Amino acid sequence: MIAAEGKAFSAGVDVSDHTEDKVGDMIERFHGIFRRLAATDAITIAAVQGAALGGGCELACFCDVVLASDRAKFGQPEVHVGVFPPVAAAILPWRVGLGKAIELVSLGATISATEAHRIGLVNQLFPADEFNDKVAAYIDSIRGLSRPVVRMAKQATMVGMRAETLKRLEEAEKIYLDELMQLHDAHEGIAAFMEKRSPEWSHA
Amino acid sequence: MNDYQYFNLDITGGVATVTMNLPPLNVMDNPMMAEFNTLLDGLVGDTASRPS
């Protein structure tokens, strides 16, 4: 299970690591997390107590089960700073359907935990003031299951999907590094964010 | 059991709980992500948290 201390689950990857000189290393390390998560047959669970934005949202929605506080929110604001989230692009169409995936990934939407629950991004929605107890109860409820049975049931549920997810991630990564990074707007978006100003898109 | 700078790790009864510990926002920078990778590698090799 992946959880977090603090107000937010995660506000994502440091924007200053998205600059041209650092982006290759950043993508390798960030996507390394997901390649490792994809390799396990254990059930992966995200306990999202606050905002999950950008890479934080990708981390949550890559997990098999998402438990969320009703105070949480989910969003992929990357396009607002001239980039896009490759992991979300790879996984969200399966999780929430293509239309909602496009809204989140391509249009930079942020949604409430209630809406995330409605569209299937969140499995279980818990009141904020009972969140830790409810998460503990959920974990207890599955702890009694046979681990190899659970593992095989996950394998069966995901037949073909794991390899496809990794292939989709690789393709999305390629678009990000080889094509997106050629765009003036990608560098303008990151620069504008770091300089705390509005980006001026040249649409090129 | 906590050898990590950016995470708390608890393994109890077959469940590994990895808690990001960079409040308030848990922003992931390069050192944190490197440690995340190392931590996940350790979990894959740790029978206590494996599903069988």
Predicted confidence (pLDDT) per residue in A189-203, tens digit: 999 999 999 999 999
Question: Number of structural domains, chain B?
Answer: 1
Q: What is the average pLDDT score of chain A? A: 97
pLDDT tens per residue, range A163-184: 999 999 999 999 999 999 999 9
Rounded CA separation A168/A197 (Å) = 33
pLDDT of residue B50: 47
Q: Which residue intervals of B4-52 are DSSP H helices? A: 30-44
The chain A residue lying nearest B50, using CA atoms, is A42
pLDDT tens per residue, range A103-153: 999 999 999 999 999 999 999 999 999 999 999 999 999 999 999 999 999
Percent of chain B with pLDDT over 70: 81
Question: Distance (Å) from the C-alpha of residue A121 to the closest C-alpha of chain B?
Answer: 21
pLDDT of residue B46: 56
In a domain, B41, yes or no: yes
The chain B residue lying nearest A1, using CA atoms, is B17
The chain A residue lying nearest B45, using CA atoms, is A40
Q: Give residue B2's pLDDT band: very low, low, confident or very high (50, 70, 90).
A: low
Rounded CA separation B13/B37 (Å) = 23
**pLDDT above 50 for A27:** yes
- For chain A, say whether B17 makes contact (Cβ under 8 Å): yes
In a domain, B1, yes or no: no
Percent of chain A with pLDDT over 70: 100
Place of tokens 């931590």: B39
Q: How many CA atoms lie within 13 A of B7 on its CB side?
A: 24
Rg (CA), chain A: 17
Residue type, B6: Y
Looking at A20, A78, A115, A171, which residue is catalytic?
Answer: A78
Domains of chain A: 15-128+146-194 (3.90.226.10)
pLDDT of residue A56: 98
- For chain B, say whether A33 makes contact (Cβ under 8 Å): yes
Q: How many CA atoms lie within 13 A of A47 on its CB side?
A: 23
Q: How many other C-beta atoms can be found within 10 angstroms of the C-beta atom of residue A55?
A: 27
Q: Which of A92, A89, A94 is nearest to A172 (CA)?
A: A89
pLDDT of residue B44: 75
Rounded CA separation A71/A131 (Å) = 10
Q: Which of A94, A142, A139 is nearest to A121 (CA)?
A: A94
In a domain, B2, yes or no: no
**pLDDT above 90 for A37:** yes
Strands A124-126 and A51-53: unpaired
Q: What is the span of the domain harbouring residue B35?
A: 7-49
Q: Which of A3, A30, A32 minimises the CB distance to B17?
A: A3
Cβ <8 Å between A13 and B18:
no
Q: Which of A191, A158, A167 is nearest to A42 (CA)?
A: A158
Q: How many other C-beta atoms can be found within 10 angstroms of the C-beta atom of residue A59?
A: 28
Q: Which of A11, A26, A29 minimises the CB distance to B37?
A: A29
